[in-house]
Structure 1
Amino acid sequence: MKVVNYVSEAFHELRSNVTWPEWPEVQRLTIIVAIFSIVFALLTWGVDTVFSKALESFFNILK
């Protein structure tokens, strides 16, 4: 019974006490997050590629 009461109160709080952003703001922030995620993924790929090439060169020198 406690779980049902908790879920009910949580939904009530979401409906009455949470201030939801306007739709244009949600769209703008979603675009910002998507662009940041793509840039971060490309940077991670680039660093991974550079380190991979550097380690490959290092181990080829040791041969």
Structure 2
Amino acid sequence: MTKVVNYISESFEELKSNVTWPAWAEVQRLTIVVAVFSVVFALATWGVDELFAKTLAVFFNWIKA
């Protein structure tokens, strides 16, 4: 258990002393970039899924006829 506590303590010390944290404005800007990209990627995935679904529906209706 001492090893775990020591590891956590050293991790916090590492984060405080050796990590260069970005400015708050940069964090906000990058968060917006990630959110917009996520929405665009989700819409693109949905669009491709709809396209394939309609294409397969047309294909199978063509086979049945």
Measured on the aligned residues, the alpha-carbon RMSD in Å equals 0.6
Q: CA deviation at 1:32?
A: 0.6
**What runs of 5+ residues in structure 1 fail to find an aligned partner?**
none
Residue 61 of structure 1 aligns with which residue? 62
Residue identity over aligned pairs, in percent, reads 70
TM-score by length of 1: 0.95
* Residue 2 of structure 2 is aligned to residue 4 of structure 1: no
Matches within 5 A, 1:9-28: 9-28=10-29
Distance 1:23 1:2 in 2: 34
Q: How many residues align?
A: 63
Cα shift readout 1:17-60 (whole Å, capped 9, x = no counterpart) = 10000011011101111110000000000000000000111111
